[in-house]
Amino acid sequence: MVRIDGPSCPHRWPSAPSRSAVALNPGKDQPIETLVINGAECEPYITCDDLLMREQASDIIDGVRIMLHVIAAKKAVIGVEDNKPEAAQALRAAIESAAVGDRVEVAVIPTLYPSGGEKQLIRILTGKEVPSHGIPAQVGIVCQNVGTTAAVADAVLHGRPLIERLVTVTGRAVAEPRNYRVPIGALGETLIAASGGYRGEIAKLVSGGPMMGFRLETDAVPITKATNCLLALTTDESPDPGPALPCIRCGRCAEVCPANLLPQQLYWHARAKELDKVQDFNLFDCIECGCCAHVCPSHIPLVQYYRFAKTESWAREQEKRAADHARERHAAREARLERQERERKAKLRKKKEAVAGGAAASAKAGKAGRSAQGADADKQAAIEAARRRAAEKKATVAKTEQAAQPQGSDTAAASGLPPVDERKGAVLADDPAASRAGSGAGQQRAEPQGAGQPVAEGSAAEPSAAGEKPAAEQAAVGEEPAVERPAAEKPAADRHLARRETAVQE
Amino acid sequence: MTMTIISSPHSARVNRVDQVMVQVCLALIPGTAALVWFFGWGVLINMALATVFAVTAEALVMKLRGRPALPAISDYSAVVTALLFALTIPPTLPWWMTLLGILFAIVIVKQLYGGIGYNPFNPAMAGYVFLLISYPVATTSWLPPDVSALLEARDLSTLSFLDSVRLIFTGALPEGLTWDAVSAATPLDELRTMLDQGKTIDMIRESPLWGLFGGRGWEWVGASFLLGGLYLLWRRVITWHIPVAFLGGLLAVAAAFWLVDPQGYPFPTFHLFSGGAILGAFFIATDPVSACTTRRGQLIYAALIGVTIFVIRTWGGYPDAVAFAVLLLNIAVPMIDQYSQPRVFGHGRGERKKA
Ligand code: SF4
Ligand code: SF4
């Protein structure tokens, strides 16, 4: 059975309250031994965590202490990659001044993508493997990002909610790459403008890193609490990989796969749409890190195939559930009708008996019989009415459902469904690529939910609201024409933008 | 602004099939040079012929299949097949046999199965085996390792480039030469015949066909291919798994038998440096398409090839066995792959030591 587990992104994005709450509440039966703090940058290019560790080391350590207290863990390990010696230094200094050296330690790990993945980092730091489909708490570990840790300190010690975050703006297609502390909801274009705008030929604008980020159609999108990077890539940095060649089974992909999968076999079966087979090869352990596609000499868009296979599997699972549900309802209905029929017959029989008996009975008795008959008829009528009501109700429900259907993603957002996971959103946004590349596999369920819906204008115009609704953001992202904002809002956004010169100055 | 629509990763790709193939061709240079040194120009002529035939055949089949030919031939996989094929056939093979072998390799073994990436068998080896079975004499009569010295001793000019061309295209030997004079058994052939006659290894080693640690001439060819193979390892075109397991398997069984009976079996390095063992280990068994794709599977696959080579060389009907062994194990690849899957992260008891 497919397990539909939430986000396929392995990274612990900072401060998603609900997720962190879950991560911090593992349940009573599993004592937490270690708190792992992820100070490894998610992906190449991104430096905002580095900056955070250097600038707010003491906040991070405060957050660590709070978390240690909450989950009653014995110790905390902060994993920092070895290309950030200053960050490690700052953290060590903060640990010393807070005198928690016996419980909190900084571990320097090799800089090797994707060490920033939650499960990967846990394995590097503790040697433990989080079971497939499991959560770290099952091995006695809780993992949090440094961003979350700092936000916890902010919230608990200063009573400040999460209203801003650090964002890296980089790529060779921006004039002055920098990190910014921005209020959540600030517009991407404001950040780009603050970095001196675009420079030269821009090939792609990506939200997130080069390996897992998703492409943006426009920079008029709000920064959400999950946006860690805006990456403007030149054609040199991100050349068109050209048409995919057949897989030559070289095994390079398997060599680099952090989940130890066989990407070539996954690809083979995903391409053939053999969903059961792909799952036998543990498709759902794929974290979509992109390593396999990065090294593939045949330039096969492997991750795209995996996303396709995952979405197909989810869809199939959903269909199956719907079908099961329908079958159950049908069976229940049959049973109910049968029971009613039985009851009706039983009553009829009783009545007949009563009538037969009544012929010999006294007038008084006959009267009583008639009244019983009358009551019966009343009951029947009531049942009929109830049935009619039910049928009508069903019809209206069906109608509203139909009406709701074409509205796509905004319905999902508005009706309070769990927000569409970003990665999935990325797939959908990217799907046309598949048909374009002629790969055949990506073509299915292209219905790009975000694209071209005249929706979410309200939320896009109010960036802070959009920040809480990734689904709405998705819709805005997919939208072709940039959403028009009231002109008055622009300077306001600028004012909010506390620009911070980063490493350069220090 | 038009931007490419593509899903992540957005990074520049680090490998390319055609670059991989070019690296393989480059790595063949030292071995080729050694072959030319010992066996004359025929080697080069065969390589050129085979390449032309292979690329033409590939292009034609792609046309027939209604697909663009250019992408197929510009991945250079046909060139690599042709070169490997040409390096395994004798340098005097008539041109039409080369053509037949290549046609079989490219058209039937490769393209009929769907082209690059889909062929279950190694095309070069299948083409060679096809010839070997159809024309056993022509495909096994080699020149003696230092053909030029031999010819000079007979007061003849060396087998010049033109002589070689004439030999390959018309089958005509230069004036005053006979086939008996120019052809010689390979060391492996010789060994087999002598052993069959009940001679001991010590007696056999008197033969001029033996060198320091392998067959005369052949040992240097093997060493040169080894050099090329190391280059491939260094450029990370191949990994160590297949060559090491291949040679290890061959060496292990050869050593075991040699230790038991040093007069009945040649010393292990003889196996390594005679015939096509080194070429096979670094260039042929490593053909990714027809080899195992899991790392553990590759170890099993290659070790079994090594063992099979020894078995066929020692008790089989053919003196050299690389081609047969590779093809036999190609058949076993799907099964080996199935049972050698790596343990997936987070599955089973996988508590590795702290890194
Ligand atoms: S890296 Fe690409 S060509 Fe090589 S085995 Fe993997 S998918 Fe196939
Ligand atoms: S299959 Fe590819 S994308 Fe998935 S985890 Fe492995 S390397 Fe990453």
Q: B349 — contact with chain A (CB < 8 Å)?
A: no
Ligand 2 proximity of A288 Cβ (cutoff 6 Å): yes
User: Given a cut of 50, is residue B97 above it in pLDDT?
Assistant: yes
Smallest CA separation from ligand 2 atom 2, residue: A292
Is the CB of A205 less than 8 angstroms away from the CB of B294? no
Task: Indicate the pLDDT class of residue A356, thresholds 50, 70 and 90.
Answer: confident
B67-73 long-range CB contacts below 8 Å, 24 or more apart?
B71/A243, B71/A245, B72/B115, B72/B116
User: Given a cut of 70, is residue B288 above it in pLDDT?
Assistant: yes
User: Given a cut of 50, is residue A432 above it in pLDDT?
Assistant: no
Chain B residue at shortest CA distance from A132: B346
User: Given a cut of 60, is residue A17 above it in pLDDT?
Assistant: no
- CA atoms of A355 and A32, how far apart (whole Å): 75
Residue A327: per-residue pLDDT: 94
Whether omega before B9 lies within 30 degrees of 0, making that bond cis, reads: yes
Q: What is the pTM of this model?
A: 0.72
Among A136-140, A278-282, A392-396, B255-259, which stretch is predicted with the lowest mean pLDDT?
A: A392-396
Structure tokens at A350: 């009783």
How many helices, marked H, and strands, marked E, lie in chain B?
19, 0
| pLDDT tens by residue, A63-82 | 999 999 998 888 899 999 98
Ligand 1 binding pocket (C-beta < 6 A) is A 247-253, 263-264, 267, 295-298, 300, 302
Is the CB of B345 less than 8 angstroms away from the CB of A249? no
Q: B15 — contact with chain A (CB < 8 Å)?
A: yes
User: Given a cut of 70, is residue B169 above it in pLDDT?
Assistant: yes
Task: Indicate the pLDDT class of residue A340, thresholds 50, 70 and 90.
Answer: very high
Is the CB of B343 less than 8 angstroms away from the CB of A260? yes
Residue A224 has phi, psi (to 5 degrees) of -105, 175
User: Other C-beta atoms within 10 Å of A39: how many?
Assistant: 29
β-pairing, A178-183 vs A202-207, is unpaired
Please tell me which residue, B284 or A429, carries the higher pLDDT value: B284
B184 neighbors B143 (Cβ within 8 angstroms): yes
Please tell me which residue, A78 or A393, carries the higher pLDDT value: A78
Q: Which ligand is nearest to the CA of A289?
A: 2
- For a pocket test of ligand 1, which of A248, A256, A262, A267 has the largest count of ligand atoms closer than 8 A to its C-beta? A248
Residue A430: per-residue pLDDT: 41
Please tell me which residue, A500 or B200, carries the higher pLDDT value: B200
| pLDDT tens by residue, A447-473 | 434 333 433 333 333 334 333 444 434
Q: B75 — contact with chain A (CB < 8 Å)?
A: yes
Is the CB of B345 less than 8 angstroms away from the CB of A259? yes
Stretch A38-63: mean pLDDT, rounded?
A: 90
Is the CB of B295 less than 8 angstroms away from the CB of A254? yes
Chain A residue at shortest CA distance from B17: A297
Interface A–B counts its CB contacts (< 8 A) at 186
- Residue B322, helix vs strand vs coil: helix
Please tell me which residue, A177 or A464, carries the higher pLDDT value: A177
Among A47-51, A117-121, B151-155, which stretch is predicted with the lowest mean pLDDT?
A: B151-155
User: Given a cut of 90, is residue B23 above it in pLDDT?
Assistant: yes
Structure tokens at A272: 């053939």
User: Given a cut of 50, is residue A357 above it in pLDDT?
Assistant: yes
* Residues above pLDDT 70, as percent of chain A: 68
Residue B36: per-residue pLDDT: 87
Is the CB of B5 less than 8 angstroms away from the CB of A240? no
| pLDDT tens by residue, B181-239 | 666 667 777 777 777 777 777 777 777 667 777 777 788 889 999 999 999 999 989 99
Q: One-letter amino acid identity for A144?
A: Q
3-state secondary structure A88-140: HHHHHHHHHHHCCCCCEEEEEECCCCCCCCHHHHHHHHHCCCCCCCCCHHHHC
- CA atoms of A434 and A436, how far apart (whole Å): 5
Residue B143 has phi, psi (to 5 degrees) of -80, 160
Query: Which of A205, A251, A427 lies nearest to residue B7, judging by beta carbons?
Result: A427
Return the DSSP state at B280: I
- Specify the length of chain A in residues: 506
Is the CB of A259 less than 8 angstroms away from the CB of B342? no
Composition of chain B by helix, strand, coil, percent to 5: 65, 0, 35
Listed residue (A499, A466, A468) closest to A483, CA to CA: A466
Task: Indicate the pLDDT class of residue A114, thresholds 50, 70 and 90.
Answer: confident
A456 neighbors A412 (Cβ within 8 angstroms): no
Residue B217: per-residue pLDDT: 79
Stretch A374-390: mean pLDDT, rounded?
A: 75
Q: One-letter amino acid identity for A463?
A: P
User: Other C-beta atoms within 10 Å of A43: how many?
Assistant: 24
How much distance in Å is there from the Cα of A285 to the middle of ligand 2?
Answer: 8
Compute the mean pLDDT over every residue in chain A, rounded to the nearest whole number. Answer: 75
Most confident listed range (A463-472, A478-487, B217-226, B325-334): B325-334
Smallest CA separation from ligand 2 atom 8, residue: A289
User: Given a cut of 80, is residue A433 above it in pLDDT?
Assistant: no
Ligand 2 proximity of A289 Cβ (cutoff 6 Å): yes
* Residues above pLDDT 90, as percent of chain A: 33
Beta strand extents in chain B (DSSP E only): none
Q: Chain B interface, mutation test: which of A105, A109, A245, most B Cβ atoms within 10 Å?
A: A245
Residue A387: per-residue pLDDT: 82
Task: Indicate the pLDDT class of residue B145, thresholds 50, 70 and 90.
Answer: low
Structure tokens at B248: 């290890």
| pLDDT tens by residue, A227-240 | 899 999 988 888 88
Whether omega before A114 lies within 30 degrees of 0, making that bond cis, reads: yes
Contacts of A380 (CB under 8 A, 6+ apart): none
Q: In what order do the strands lie in the sheet with A178-183?
A: A214-216, A202-207, A229-234, A164-170, A178-183, A498-499
What are the angstrom distances between the C-alpha of B11 and each of A203, A266, A291, A375, B146?
Answer: 12, 21, 10, 79, 52
Residue A72: per-residue pLDDT: 87
Q: Directed axis angle between helix B29-39 and helix B218-234, to 10°?
A: 170
Q: What is the DSSP annotation of A157-221?
A: HH---S-EEEEEEESTTBSS-EEEEEETT-BHHHHHHHTT-B-S-EEEEEES-TTT-EEES-S--
Please tell me which residue, B64 or B157, carries the higher pLDDT value: B64
β-pairing, A34-39 vs A75-81, is parallel
How much distance in Å is there from the Cα of B18 to the middle of ligand 1?
Answer: 14
Please tell me which residue, B140 or A280, carries the higher pLDDT value: A280
Please give the ipTM for the structure prediction: 0.85
List of domains in chain A: 1-8+24-162 (3.40.50.11540), 165-240 (3.10.20.600), 252-320 (no CATH), 417-440+449-455+491-506 (no CATH)
Among B55-69, B91-105, B144-158, B313-327, which stretch is predicted with the lowest mean pLDDT?
A: B144-158
- CA atoms of A67 and A75, how far apart (whole Å): 10
Residue A475: per-residue pLDDT: 40
Stretch A472-488: mean pLDDT, rounded?
A: 40
Q: Which ligand is nearest to the CA of A271?
A: 1
Q: Residue A411 is inside which H or E element, if any?
A: helix A409-414
